[in-house]
Amino acid sequence: MQGLMMDVPLLIKSIVLHAELNHANQEVVSVTVDHPRHRYTYKDCFRRARQLAKSLDALGVPNGARIATVAWNDFRHLESYFGIACSGRVYHTINPRLFADQLVYIINHAEDEWIFTDVAFVPLLEGIAQQCPSVKGYVVMIGETHMPATTLPNVHCFETLLSAQSADYEWPDFNENTASGLCYTSGTTGNPKGALYSHRSTMLHTYAHSLPDVLNLSALDTILPVVPMFHVNAWGIPFSAPFIGLKLVMPGPKLSDPKVLVDLINQEGVTLGAGVPTVWSPVLQYVKDSGRSLKPMVRAGTGGSACPVSMMQEFRDEHGVEVQHAWGMTEMSPIGSANSPKPASMRLSQAEKDELFKSVGRPVPGVEVKIVDDAGKELPWDGIAFGSLMVRGYWVIREYYKPDRPGAAHDTDGWFETGDVATIDAEGFIRITDRTKDVIKSGGEWISSIELENAAVAHPAVAEAAVIGVYHPKWQERPLLLVVKTVGQEATKEELLHWFNGRVAKWWIPDDVVFIDAMPYTATGKISKLILREKIGDYQFPGSAV
């Protein structure tokens, strides 16, 4: 027997239609190269998205065509997301920090037909245009007066394209499983792989993302996505912001400039910021050095890599900001879990609550999780057993886009292997202990590099820390701690190793410390253990030379 409810397709255009009627006058603020503080409303945004959709028709861009965007977070990028996806094309966000050969690989693999770019990335694209035969033309996201001289073929100005069209455009209807967006993982091993989102998955993600125990979004909030729109759709904020009616503040090219971020927070009344821990460290440092405050901020959403407890404490104790720790990945649109308390958590002591913060939280409704051993056998949720974390759900990929090995993205029961190693406790709280490839195996037992890094950065002299497994003749592998010191602070190896006493199991304490000037980062702003391993070369622990 079938239910008798309306079968309305889950299309992203429903966000546009809802926001136009319900949040028409809510503000969208951006920093761009041509506007230090651009402001308009969702009504303006979606009027222009319609003009953009008409421009794509005029350019003869077919349905399903991939249109790349190489851009920071700002109003034109936002209009592009909606204008492209809601008209039946696919926006393909590209991370401009990737190496040129990765960019070429991604553009060719996606067979992008058009590239929308910020002015800043025109030289980058000029350098690779010859190697991208599928690209028919380029749109520079700027007004006519700021158009750069360029060797790119078939170049258009975004504002000129839009001004040639009226907003008299009706968004088409189509199947909810139609592709809407494409984002490649950074490909730290092998070629980058494409996650191809659909209208349905994006809509369901938008609903879940806004829930009280996830990002707890309300029309009274002002949100600052510091996480780039080229990194998993800025965690879905470009969709949930107009859907819920939040004021949206976007930092444009200034997303690594703590002063501008703090200006935006204070001047625009940002209540909720979202970014990886590496964007928050300089913000906290800048606030400390300048004596300024983060007064309007109530919450900071963080994810993408483990958030140190010391960062959460600084936010909470110095600024009254609650940190929402979440976990996810490109293949999961990205949200998988969020660390929100349950009734039992409220009865914990402060120290126990701080300890629980190390968890990435509980699965978001709509995502199933399990941990399995090497033989694929499911492990108990006891907070002790470590296993490979598997997921299944409405916004998890079924398959990579044009995969090298079809079917490799899931097991026979349809679960996706995240590549993370985790424990899950009886309340469903997940602790990521490592990436599968970063696990340290000492004498047959696993040591969590994330746990050690967390402990290390709590030391005042440690600005950044990474722990990697290094060959050891007796134990097979032992942890090596790499440290970037805090400016103006000193600590010896011995002091740092002593620091771990009582903080982690004795046999987890690293065997040695190497001080380095700077951490290497991946294109998505995470510490690159791959480069660190190359950097330390054939390092041997003192006394373990063979």
Q: Which residues contact ligand ADP by CB under 6 A? A: 185-186, 232, 303-306, 325, 327-330, 334, 360, 418-420, 432, 435, 522, 524, 526
> Is-catalytic flag, 32?
no
The DSSP annotation for 323-340 comes to EEEEEE-GGGSSEEEE--
Nearest to 395 by CA among 251, 201, 148: 201
Question: Residue 442 or residue 449: which is nearer to ligand ADP going by CB?
Answer: 449
Q: How open is the CA angle 392-396-400, to the nearest 5 degrees? A: 120
- Which of 331, 451, 453, 464 is catalytic? The answer is 331
Query: Least distance (Å) from ligand ADP to the CB of residue 267?
Result: 29
Question: Residue 162 or residue 183: which is nearer to ligand ADP going by CB?
Answer: 183
- How do strand 335-338 and strand 362-363 relate by DSSP bridges? antiparallel
Question: Residue 92 or residue 435: which is nearer to ligand ADP going by CB?
Answer: 435
- Which of 185, 222, 302, 423 is catalytic? The answer is 185
Contact 500, 439 (CB under 8 A): no
Query: Least distance (Å) from ligand ADP to the CB of residue 145?
Result: 36
Q: At 10, phi and psi to the nearest 5?
A: -80, 95
Cα separation, 107 vs 101, in Å, equals 10
Structure tokens at 414: 């349809």
User: End-to-end CA distance of the chain, in Å?
Assistant: 72
Question: Residue 295 or residue 441: which is nearer to ligand ADP going by CB?
Answer: 441
Query: Least distance (Å) from ligand ADP to the CB of residue 106?
Result: 12
- Which of 295, 355, 441, 492 is catalytic? The answer is 441
> Is-catalytic flag, 185?
yes
Query: Least distance (Å) from ligand ADP to the CB of residue 431?
Result: 9
Cα separation, 447 vs 440, in Å, equals 5
- Which of 20, 43, 446, 486 is catalytic? The answer is 446
Query: Least distance (Å) from ligand ADP to the CB of residue 467?
Result: 13
Contact 272, 224 (CB under 8 A): yes
Question: Residue 80 or residue 305: which is nearer to ligand ADP going by CB?
Answer: 305
Cα separation, 157 vs 145, in Å, equals 10
> Is-catalytic flag, 20?
no
Query: Least distance (Å) from ligand ADP to the CB of residue 449?
Result: 11
Question: Residue 88 or residue 525: which is nearer to ligand ADP going by CB?
Answer: 525
Structure tokens at 239: 């969709």
Contact 182, 91 (CB under 8 A): yes
Cα separation, 16 vs 92, in Å, equals 20
Catalytic residues: 185, 331, 441, 446
